Amino acid sequence: MGINFHNSQNKARYQVRIEPYSRRFKQPLQTHHGLWRDRQGIWIQLCPMAASEAGECGWGEIAPLPEFGSENLTEALHFCQSLRGEISPEEINSIPDDLPACQFGFESALMDLHPLENPPHLMNICGLLPTGKAALDPKLPIWNQGYATLKWKIAVTEISQELALFQDLLWMLPEGVKLRLDANGGLTEAEAHQWLQACEHQPVEFLEQPLGRSEFEAMLALSHEYETPLALDESIATWQQFLQVYHRGWPSIMVIKPAIFGFPSRLIEFCHAHPVDIVLSSVFETAIARKMLFRLATTLPNLDRALGLGTDRWFEDGGMGEWGNGGMGEWGDTGRWRRGDAGTRGHGEMETRGRGDAGTRGDGDAKK
């Protein structure tokens, strides 16, 4: 259950509008899970139905990733349609745990109705290199975009080739830049040893998910044997798995993908109560969900590691969905969210109802 930060006496109901989206990767993304060509999800908008609350609408995004244990798009759509266009905060808090992307999307939209008091400042963001040899092209823009942390996917080709490429990559790495290696659970135990030996004394921030999600004990042993930290990702894709791993004493880093992790409020509450070393990571969502990630990044305590959000350049539309940057809004110079004109461009269900509009392009209204 999420936290009912909304006044429990409040019988508020919200009109729900949904807009499924599909975004094409500029080039399919190769991971150990296979080739990924399109990213699909659902934008949602909640608008207060009571006249006394008329005004702002809240935005959220459902970006499922069934390979990581979340619901799939069809299940999420089915849930949205079952609402018949209305929802209350209590019903949002009751969204079941087998719909974590819906929990995230709807609670994000509810939280979006409440302005952020402490706006985020510039974040430390981790860029994502292309997989394999393509990363070694010095003309890639990513090499000159000022990233202090870069991620590279491994376990996609034969290990001796990859280890040779890794040496070349280390040669190219600018002074002070760190690498994150992500195996997506694709290494054998023997290969994980080879990689961790190759990482010794190198600027590698961590090796992410070397082994499959069922091989927790082996990863725990590896984490004690080498100096390079390990991070778990696939092993803690759901809230229940995360709790299990935490209570089994995982001593190292945990990668959280908030968009598929369920209620944001639950994560905030947990991190305030327990010391955890976490990395927040993207699931190739659009700016709507990203806004919530930034909000989480400013709310969670001791979040020192670069955010895994450097994913915009992977999309034809620059990461903002078909409505474009202005449509989704952006963090303004004041550090506050500036609404774009997504609500006024005539996109059917997401169109606003003529009050509490979603802002207009360039109005500079920092209030959401």
Active site residues: 153, 257
Q: How far apart are CB 208 and Mg ion at their closest, in Å?
A: 5
Residue 75 in marked binding region: no
Looking at beta carbons only, is 208 or 285 nearer to Mg ion? 208
Q: Which long-range contacts (CB under 8 A, 24 or more apart) does 197-201 make?
A: 197/226, 198/163, 198/166, 198/167, 199/226, 199/228, 200/226, 200/227, 200/228
Looking at beta carbons only, is 99 or 256 nearer to Mg ion? 256
Site string for Mg ion, 86-105 (x = CB under 5 A): --------------------
Residue 137 in marked binding region: no
- Size of interface with Mg ion, in residues (CB under 5 A): 3
Under the criterion CB under 5 A, does residue 112 sit at the interface with Mg ion?
A: no
> Of all residues in the chain, what percent are helix, strand and coil, respectively (each to 5)?
35, 20, 45
Residue 365 in marked binding region: no
CA separation for the pair 217, 223 (Å, rounded) = 10
Looking at beta carbons only, is 184 or 265 nearer to Mg ion? 184
Name the DSSP class of 111.
H
Task: Give residue for tokens 């927790």.
Answer: 216
Site for Mg ion in 292-351 (CB under 5 A): none
Stretch that binds Mg ion, among 129-137, 175-183, 285-293, 324-332 (CB under 5 A): 175-183
Task: Give residue for tokens 């376990």.
Answer: 155
Q: How far apart are CB 145 and Mg ion at their closest, in Å?
A: 21
What pairs with residue 75 in β-bridges? none
3-state secondary structure of 219: helix
Whether the Cβ atoms of residue 148 and residue 23 lie closer than 8 Å to each other: no
Q: How far apart are CB 241 and Mg ion at their closest, in Å?
A: 14
Under 8 Å CB-to-CB from 6, ≥6 apart: which residues?
12, 89, 110
CA separation for the pair 46, 59 (Å, rounded) = 6
Looking at beta carbons only, is 182 or 205 nearer to Mg ion? 182
Q: How far apart are CB 255 and Mg ion at their closest, in Å?
A: 6
Site string for Mg ion, 177-206 (x = CB under 5 A): -----x------------------------
Q: How far apart are CB 200 and Mg ion at their closest, in Å?
A: 22
Site string for Mg ion, 25-64 (x = CB under 5 A): ----------------------------------------
Give how far Cα 37 sits from Cα of 34, 127, 322, Å: 10, 19, 16
Stretch that binds Mg ion, among 36-44, 191-199, 228-236, 284-292 (CB under 5 A): 228-236
Looking at beta carbons only, is 12 or 293 nearer to Mg ion? 293
φ, ψ (nearest 5 deg) of residue 245: -65, -40
Looking at beta carbons only, is 110 or 279 nearer to Mg ion? 279
Q: How far apart are CB 185 and Mg ion at their closest, in Å?
A: 9
Under the criterion CB under 5 A, does residue 233 sit at the interface with Mg ion?
A: yes
Stretch that binds Mg ion, among 23-31, 125-133, 233-241, 331-339 (CB under 5 A): 233-241
What pairs with residue 127 in β-bridges? 150, 310
Q: How far apart are CB 280 and Mg ion at their closest, in Å?
A: 12
Retrieve residue 220's tokens: 């725990």
Looking at beta carbons only, is 5 or 36 nearer to Mg ion? 36
CA separation for the pair 146, 131 (Å, rounded) = 19
- DSSP letters spanning 132-182: GGGGG-TT-GGGGS--SEEEEE-SSS-HHHHHHHHHHHHHHSPTT-EEEEE
Site string for Mg ion, 258-297 (x = CB under 5 A): ----------------------------------------
Sign of CA dihedral 225, 212, 179, 164: positive
Give me the residue whose beta carbon is nearest to Mg ion: 233
Annotated binding site for Mg(2+): 182, 208, 233
Annotated binding site: 182, 208, 233
Which residues would be at the binding site for Mg ion (CB under 5 A)? Answer: 182, 208, 233
